Every structure is written in C-alpha cells, then in structure tokens.
Amino acid sequence: MPDPQPLSKPELNRSFSELYRTHLRDVYSYAYYRVGNHHDAEDLTEQTFLQAYRHYERALRESNGRPLRPWLIRIAHNLAANYYRDRARRPESAIEDAAVISAPHTTETLVEGREELGQILTGVQQLPDDRREALIMRFALGMDNREIARALGRSDGATKVLLHRAIKQLEGIVGGNGSGPEAKQRQEDEP
Amino acid sequence: MSTTEFEARLRAALHPVEPPEDFVVRLERGLVELHELATDELEAWELRAMRDPRNWARPAAAAVVGAGAGAALVVLRVRGRHRRRRAQAGNVLDLAERTVRDLADEARRLLPGGD
C-alpha cells in the first residue's frame, strides 16, 4: 500500500496544536501523579511536548491513523524514568499539596473522606513503578488496556494482569496489610 | 469493600489534574518559539541551497520575474532576524543601521564568490 500523502507544514502544525490541546491535561496529570509535585510536573510536561514536537512528523507517519496518546504518554514515561535515574530518587511519598485531595470531586458521594483519599494516594506512591504507572494511566487518564499496553510497550494480556495485580496490591496496602514484609515477599513471588 | 467499589474510590482519588494557568501560557510561548526557530532553520537551509548552482533550476522562474529568488530570500532571511536586531538596537536609528548592514551582509553572502 502506498504511503499516505505527507502533510504540509501548516497542516502538520495544526495537527500538532490539536494533539497538544486534546492531551495537555493527560500529560500533566500523568506527570503530576508520577513526580508528586507541580514544579517537576511542569518540567516533565514541557519536556514531553518539546520532544513530541521534534518527532511529531515521524510519529504521525508511523501511527497508521492510531491515536497518538500512548506515544505521548510513553515520552513522558521515558522522561520520568530519566528524571528518577538522574536524581537517584523515588517519587515523593505524598502528593505535594492538599489541593488535589480537597479539590471538588464530581464523585464526592463515593468518597467517604479526605483521609481515605489520602491513604489511596499514598498507597499508589508505594507501588512498584510499573503498577503505579498502569493505575495512573487507567484511572487518572482513563486509558483502556490497549492504550496502556502501547504506552508501556507490553502486550494487552500482560497489561491486564499488571492492572489486576496493581489493584489487588493497592487494596492490600489501603486495607493495612499490603506494605509489610509479607506483602513485599508475595509481590516478589509473583511471576 | 468490593473491587468495583474500590476502583470507584481509586478513580475519585486519581482525578485528572488541570495544569496551572501561568504554566500553560509559558508552555505555549515556548512551543511557538520553537516553531519559529525551526522556521528560521528552514530559511537558512533555503539560503544555503541557493548558493549551490544545482539548486537553481526551480527558482529560475522567480529570477525571470525580476528581483529574483535570491533577493527574495535575502529579504525573508533579514526579516526573520528583525526581532533579534530590535532587541539589540538602542534606538530606531540604530535599528535601521543594523538592518541595512544585515541586508548588505546577506546579499554579499549570496553573490558569486561570497563566503
């Protein structure tokens, strides 16, 4: 099949602007939950879009019409990995400010209190990197299994298992039995 | 608590975070500047390409029109640097002087035997 007609420069710019407008909040949310504070989340978001801009034409060509959100999140994921490697640190144990916890929730009735929300967020930060990322992509960004699989470079099946285990482990942590030595041992025993 | 309930709470805890307004302004300004830099680079490439006779075939038509593609490129390139000159210039006279000097330099570079 012949390659699709390449976009002109103005078309490419318009298309990138659209991608930026549509996914700025996704990238920022991912970055925020990944690094735990606004300052570093801004840095990470900026670097993600600068890098995306540089490689956009090729990504568009190679995407074969598939959505580019997983590609964008993958850039953020790789940059975040470098961020931790360079600074030799893990994400902060608690999400930086109370704004996240006290922000108005549309699902307020489902959440019993701030304390529980705080526990969940702290629990998410205690998860291994891949599980934490999968949960952020699913619940903060609303990505489906296929999108998460593409962003993490895994198969759909492996992603489904990853999500299942992440939720189970988090349930254990929040329930008070998931962060101790036995839980860590259980996690290591899992294939 | 069932897993479905737990997932609902997880969804509520991990709600999307809006980027701060001032950051969005900064980010968009950065992207526009990057785009302009890329455009500048493209113009510079066009200018370099014009100095190679093998690339003269296409602009030949423009040359016939009058001023020629080279002159058009000089203007394009010089206009592209206008903002930087404006930032450097102390006053309007200084800016005009810098612009004329830039035009002359650019034209010299395009002339046969220019560097």
For residues B9-25, average pLDDT: 92
Lowest-confidence region among A64-78, A144-158, B85-99? B85-99
Tell me the pLDDT tens digit for each residue of A85-110.
766 555 554 555 434 444 444 444 44
Residue with tokens 């969804």: B11
The answer to whether residue A97 sits within a structural domain is no
- DSSP type of residue A2: P
Final residue of a structural domain among A92, A126, A142:
A92
CA–CA dist B13, A100 (Å, integer): 8
Final residue of a structural domain among A59, A92, A125:
A92
Taking the domains of chain B in order of start, what are their residue ranges? 18-110
B9: nearest CB among A32, A116, A136: A116
Structure tokens at A7: 């976009």
The answer to whether residue A99 sits within a structural domain is no
Residues A57 and A1 in one domain: yes
Q: Is B100 on the interface with A (CB under 8 A)?
A: no
Output the pTM of the full model.
Answer: 0.65
Residues A60 and A114 in one domain: no
Q: How many domains is chain A partitioned into structurally?
A: 2
Residues A40 and A114 in one domain: no
CATH number at residue A34: 1.10.1740
Does the pLDDT at position B79 exceed 60?
A: no
Does the pLDDT at position A169 exceed 60?
A: yes
Cβ atoms within 10 Å of B55's Cβ, excluding its own = 12
Structure tokens at B40: 């500048």
Residues A44 and A79 in one domain: yes
Of residues B41 and A19, the one with the higher pLDDT is A19
Q: Which domain holds residue A181?
A: 105-191
CA–CA dist B46, B56 (Å, integer): 11
Contacts of B23 (CB under 8 A, 6+ apart): A38, A42, A45
The answer to whether residue A52 sits within a structural domain is yes
Q: Is B113 on the interface with A (CB under 8 A)?
A: no
Chain A residues interacting with chain B (CB cutoff of 8 angstroms): 13, 20, 24-26, 28-29, 32-33, 38, 41-42, 45-46, 49-50, 53, 100, 103, 105, 107-108, 110-111, 116-117, 120-121, 124, 135-136, 139-141, 167, 170-171, 174
Final residue of a structural domain among A71, A92, A113:
A92
Structure tokens at A17: 């602007």
The answer to whether residue A98 sits within a structural domain is no
The answer to whether residue A100 sits within a structural domain is no
Tell me the pLDDT tens digit for each residue of A122-158.
999 899 999 999 999 999 999 999 999 999 999 999 9
A21-28 contact pairs (CB < 8 A, 24+): A23/A68, A23/A69, A23/A72, A24/A49, A24/B19, A24/B24, A24/B27, A25/B16, A25/B17, A25/B18, A25/B19, A26/A69, A26/A72, A26/A73, A26/A141, A26/B16, A27/A72, A27/A73, A27/A76, A28/B17, A28/B18, A28/B19
Residues A79 and A165 in one domain: no
Residues A12 and A86 in one domain: yes
Q: Which amino acid is at A22?
A: T
Residues A135 and A157 in one domain: yes
Distance from CA of B10 to the nearest CA of A (A): 7
Query: What's the mean per-residue pLDDT of chain A?
Result: 81
Residues A52 and A119 in one domain: no
For residues B23-46, average pLDDT: 75
- DSSP type of residue A136: I
Structure tokens at A85: 């490697």
**Confidence at residue B87, expressed as pLDDT on a 0 to 100 scale:** 61
Residues A74 and A121 in one domain: no
**DSSP notation for A35-51:** HSSHHHHHHHHHHHHHH
Of residues A155 and A180, the one with the higher pLDDT is A155
CATH number at residue A138: 1.10.10.10
Task: Enter the ipTM.
Answer: 0.74
B17: nearest CB among A100, A124, A174: A100
CA–CA dist B26, B19 (Å, integer): 11
